[in-house]
């Protein structure tokens, strides 16, 4: 699913709607407003389209949470659009692997004191991004509370992440880490062995009503929630892969938010709100 941000920028805003298979509105009985929920076949084009939309709208100050060795936005686009772009990661060795030219900052996103110092030096931000990061955070509520604190009022958070209760991620969550890593590297022999990190999947869910309420309880306005179905993990097992394709097509026709494989959520810190006001 990897795709460069340059390609995503070229795709533009139209991909936000062009790749949707179904759109519905989730009206919550105990939470305000209507949340746009959509479903589609697994891809990260929506993520790149959201980044492009935010850049075009004039956002300048970006924080890439968990970008480590592979930040979301390329140096070329940072320079092209005049972005102030900081990469936040807890591991110095991963930050050291990023191309020269990025502004790195080592801190654990869950460390309130460290993030306070980070904000004193670099914040607040117009946009906080994460891609393939949220699943590795053991405390989903605290993660989103910290992101909320990093945004200026009116700022936007965009997160792309794998979700429970997709079978591969359930397996990854509950079997021992060493066994999980062995399976991954047997199926994808060319994968970097340093790229397998423990996954918790805390608050990594599809657009269920409960998950939307959780995000609103932090103080966010939930602007958009996309649930994706399908994956390529079974490609080396032909019959299982074919069965999975059939099941994916069924889910696309009859979406079930608790059965998504990946999620994309776009959140805004309201201008007038303080943390926890939702």
Every domain of the chain and the residues it spans: 5-268
User: CA of 224: how far to CAs of 37, 56, 66, 156, 177, in Å?
Assistant: 6, 18, 22, 11, 33
> In terms of CATH, what superfamily is 5-268?
Vaccinia Virus protein VP39 (3.40.50.150)
Give the contacts of 177 (CB within 8 A, at least 6 positions apart): 198
How many CA atoms are closer than 13 Å to the CA of 233, on its beta-carbon side?
17
pLDDT tens-digit readout, 173-212:
777 666 555 555 455 444 454 455 689 999 999 999 999 9
| pLDDT value at residue 19 | 40
pTM, to two decimals: 0.83
Contacts of 223 (CB under 8 A, 6+ apart): 36, 156, 266, 267, 268
Query: CA 189, 166, 160 angle in degrees (round to 5)?
Result: 80
Extract the residue ranges of the chain whose pLDDT is less than 70. 1-33, 176-197, 273-278
């Amino acid at each position: 699913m990897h795709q460069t941000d340059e390609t995503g920028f070229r795709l533009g805003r139209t991909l936000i709607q062009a790749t949707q298979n179904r759109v519905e509105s989730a009206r919550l009985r105990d939470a305000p407003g209507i949340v746009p929920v959509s479903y589609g076949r697994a891809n990260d084009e929506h993520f790149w389209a959201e980044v492009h939309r935010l850049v075009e709208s004039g956002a300048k100050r970006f924080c890439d949470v968990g970008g480590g060795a592979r930040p979301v936005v390329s140096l070329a686009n940072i320079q092209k659009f005049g972005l102030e772009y900081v990469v936040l990661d807890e591991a110095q060795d991963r930050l050291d692997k990023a191309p020269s030219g990025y502004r790195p900052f080592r801190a654990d996103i869950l460390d309130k004191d460290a993030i306070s110092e980070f904000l004193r030096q670099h914040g607040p931000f117009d946009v906080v991004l994460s891609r393939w990061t949220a699943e590795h955070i053991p405390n989903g509520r605290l993660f989103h509370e910290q992101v909320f604190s990093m945004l200026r009022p009116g700022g936007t958070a965009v997160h792309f992440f794998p979700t429970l209760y997709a079978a591969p991620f359930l397996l990854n969550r509950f079997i021992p880490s060493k066994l999980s890593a062995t399976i991954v590297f047997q199926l994808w022999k060319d994968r970097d062995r340093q790229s397998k990190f423990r996954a918790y999947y805390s608050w990594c869910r599809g657009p269920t009503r409960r998950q939307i309420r959780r995000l609103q309880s932090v103080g966010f306005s939930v602007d958009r929630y996309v649930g994706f179905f399908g994956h390529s993990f079974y490609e080396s097992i032909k019959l299982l892969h074919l069965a999975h394709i059939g099941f994916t097509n069924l889910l696309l026709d009859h979406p079930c938010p608790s059965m998504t494989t990946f999620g994309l959520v776009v959140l805004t810190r309201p201008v007038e709100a303080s943390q926890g006001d939702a």
